[in-house]
Every structure is written in structure tokens, then in C-alpha cells.
Amino acid sequence: MKKYAAELIGTFVLVFGGCGAAVLAGSHIGFAGVAFAFGFSLLVMAYAIGPISGCHINPAVTVLDTEKIDDFEGCLSIPDMRGSVPRFKKLHVKALGRNGETLDFIAEDFHARVIQHETDHLKGEVYLDRMPDMRTLAHLSEWQRYVLPAMHRQDGEDEKD
């Protein structure tokens, strides 16, 4: 639970520290100020909660499989909403860990989706920016009521084939 709380705090600070600076003061502080806000937020969070949560600093992501998989995503930045987002199936990731160690790994399927979702935040994007069809966007309660049962029915049919 401690790790999840640290991730929540870290994401909050990065989104509101970096994106907040861009949105609220971008015209006053310029590109350098926005870059400083993101860098400062990242530095503070790496020292404050890095030992608890872990992190990937300056990730370099290379697509290894161009096949995209459509699946539903949600985000703490957009609470209680879900939407269908196509993401690459397999990635190669190089980054620095919380202690400055080199990380070099392959991410597939759900792990690859999470890496892409989080690196979008580093670029100031959210999953809505990746949705090709906004008609799939749904409030969580409606998604749970209508979409999730349909997905389970479809999974059951796939297993019978």
C-alpha cells in the first residue's frame, strides 16, 4: 500500500507541478521555465519517494512489435473515466533507476501499455490524446455496467472456440 501511495503522490506532483506550470504560467515563464518545473518536480520526487516506489528516469522507449492492441485505460488525472486506447504490444526500455543504475528491459502486453501510458505523461499527454474514437469514452459506472460484462462474454466465447 505504501508503494501505491508513493506512486499516487509522485504522479500528482509531476502532473500538477509540470503540467500546472505549463498551463497556468507557461506564457510567463516560457519553455525554459516549464522544463525547469518538470525537472525540479522529478528531482524532488526521485529523492522524496524514489526509495519507496522505484522509478524510470529519462526512459528511452523503442517499439519492438508494431502490432497495436486496443484495450481500455483509466488514469488518476482523469478520474472515473475509461476509454479504448491502441498501444504497442512490445517495447524495449532503457532508463535510469532510482539510484542511478541503468535499467534495460523488454516490456510486453500490459507492462508495455503501462510504460506507454506513463511516458505519455512525461510529454504532457493523457490517454484521451491517444483515443481514435471518443465514442468509447465512458464514465466508470457505465463502463462497469455495460462494457465490462460484454468483455467477459466475449472472453468466454473466445475460450469455447
Please check whether residue 55 is in contact with residue 11, taking contact to mean a CB–CB distance below 8 angstroms.
no
Taking the model in full, what pTM does it have? 0.66
Q: Where are the domains of the chain?
A: 1-54, 57-160
Q: What is the CATH number of domain 57-160?
A: 3.90.45.10
**What span, in angstroms and rounded, lies between the C-alpha atoms of 39 and 33?**
10
pLDDT along the chain (161 residues), means of 10: 67 69 70 72 69 69 95 89 96 85 92 91 90 94 89 70 54
Catalytic residue among 7, 101, 118, 157: 118
pLDDT of residue 1: 64
C-beta separation of 103 from 54 below 8 A:
no
Q: Would you state the pLDDT for residue 51?
A: 61
Please, where are the H alpha helices in 70-147?
Answer: 109-122, 140-142
Whole-number pLDDT of residue 106: 95
Determine the Cα–Cα distance for residues 69 and 87; give it in Å rounded to an integer.
5
The answer to whether residue 73 is catalytic is no
* Per-residue pLDDT, 76: 82
pLDDT of residue 18: 67
